[in-house]
């Protein structure tokens, strides 16, 4: 049976998104009833802007990383009893008007992870991706597919829907931008059903950086490969932890 839409949470990780947060929240409110924002220690006026909106907010006292925000989102969605959580970024790379596409995919009830892909189809209004990001995405997506027997076209899109009961089987602890490597490794090992749907490719700010030394594409490639390798090596431990009571496994 497909979930009632009231059982779907829309969650957004943010960090210093004062420029875009209000527009994104206004548009998200058209398509989603329940909205959670994880403020990852913003040092600009993002917290004050969030206070103007009727959304649930979890604030990290300091910047913990994209992966940590995603872990908190998945835990919160499960704790609050949601059947699904749709995640999207706040940097205007994801279009709120595409949220209904994820809801329709959820209602088909044939997947555990519905992942947006900016490369599944080419649209006339798609932006060109920065060359280094396109190259790193292409290389890592190919390597993830080969290593995990997946058929992804975009391993890094943060616009996705996740079934909370399926996420409960994962033990995610990677806090940085390399989080997707552990996510896909564990999802594949647990035989979660993955489906991609096309989303627009939007790059409004070509100067946006990763920080923490990751603006060098070779550094990112090395990090992603190392994290994937470690995640694959540790994945068999999921069988043991999933056999334990949650209080012990966590």
pLDDT band at residue 92 under the 50/70/90 scheme: confident
pLDDT of 210 reads: 60
CATH number at residue 45: 3.90.550.10
Relative orientation angle of helices 179-189 and 217-234, to the nearest 10 degrees: 30
Residue ranges making up the domain that contains 38? 5-249
* Residue in this structure with the two tokens 């706040």, named with its chain if needed: 90
The residue with greater pLDDT, 67 or 249, is: 67
pLDDT tens figures, 175-231: 999 999 999 999 999 999 999 999 989 877 656 666 667 778 899 999 999 999 999
Tens of pLDDT, residues 95-132: 999 999 999 999 999 999 999 999 998 888 887 888 89
Q: What is the pLDDT of residue 128?
A: 80
The three-class DSSP label of residue 4 is coil
Q: What percent of the chain has pLDDT over 70?
A: 90
pLDDT in tens, 126-176: 878 888 989 999 999 999 999 999 999 999 999 999 999 999 999 999 999
CA atoms within 13 A on the CB side of 104: 8
Q: Assign 3-class secondary structure to 23-78.
A: HHHHHHHHHCCEEEEEECCCCCCHHHHHCCCCCEEEECCCCCCHHHHHHHHHHHHH
Euclidean distance between CA atoms 210 and 13, whole angstroms: 15
Tokens representing 83 are 């059947």
168, two tokens? 């409960």
Q: pLDDT tens for residues 15-39?
A: 999 999 999 999 999 999 999 999 9
CA 13/CA 1 separation, integer angstroms: 29
At 250, the pLDDT band (50, 70, 90 cuts) reads very low
Phi, psi dihedrals of residue 231, rounded to the nearest 5°: -65, -40
Looking up tokens 């403020």 gives: 39
User: Per the structure block, which two tokens stand in for 58?
Assistant: 């979890």
What backbone torsions phi and psi does residue 26 show, to the nearest 5 degrees?
-60, -45
pLDDT value for 207: 64
> How far is the C-alpha of 199 from the C-alpha of 201, rounded, in Å?
7
pLDDT confidence bin for 248, thresholds 50/70/90: very low
DSSP 178: T
Tokens, residue 70: 């995603």
pLDDT for 55-84, tens place per residue?
A: 999 999 999 999 999 999 999 999 999 999
229: Cβ contacts below 8 Å, ≥ 6 apart: none
174 contacts 227 by C-beta, under 8 angstroms: yes
pLDDT greater at residue 27 or residue 244: 27
The closest alpha carbon to 90, from 42, 33, 123, belongs to 42
**DSSP assignment of 133-161, as one string?**
HHHHHHHHHHHHHHHHT---S-TT---EE
Residue 160 pairs with which residues in a beta bridge?
87, 115
Q: Kindly state the tokens that stand for 23.
A: 């527009």
Question: What total of structural domains would you count in the chain?
Answer: 1
Is residue 89 pLDDT above 80, yes or no?
A: yes
Res 209: pLDDT: 63
């Amino acid at each position: 049976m497909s979930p009632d839409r009231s059982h779907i949470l829309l969650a957004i990780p943010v960090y210093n998104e004062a420029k875009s947060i209000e527009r994104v929240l206004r548009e998200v409110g058209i398509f989603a009833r329940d909205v959670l924002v994880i403020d990852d220690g913003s040092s600009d006026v993002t917290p004050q802007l969030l206070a103007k909106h009727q959304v649930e907010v979890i604030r990290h006292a300091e910047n913990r990383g994209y992966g940590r925000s995603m872990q908190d989102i998945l835990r919160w969605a499960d704790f609050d009893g949601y059947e699904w959580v749709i995640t999207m970024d706040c940097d205007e790379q994801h279009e709120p008007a595409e949220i209904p596409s994820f809801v329709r995919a959820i209602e088909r009830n044939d997947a555990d992870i519905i992942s947006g892909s900016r490369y599944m189809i080419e649209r006339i209004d798609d932006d060109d991706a920065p060359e280094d990001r396109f190259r790193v995405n292409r290389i890592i997506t190919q390597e993830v597919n080969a290593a995990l027997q997946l058929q992804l076209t975009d391993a890094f899109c943060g616009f996705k829907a996740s079934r909370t009961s399926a996420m409960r089987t994962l033990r995610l602890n990677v806090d940085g931008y390399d989080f997707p490597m552990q996510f896909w490794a564990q999802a594949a090992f647990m035989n979660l059903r993955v489906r991609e749907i096309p989303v627009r490719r939007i790059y409004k700010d070509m100067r946006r950086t990763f920080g923490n030394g990751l603006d060098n594409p070779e550094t990112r490639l090395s990090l992603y490969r190392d994290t994937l390798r470690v995640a694959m090596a540790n994945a068999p431990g999921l069988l043991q932890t999933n056999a334990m009571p949650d209080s012990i496994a966590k």
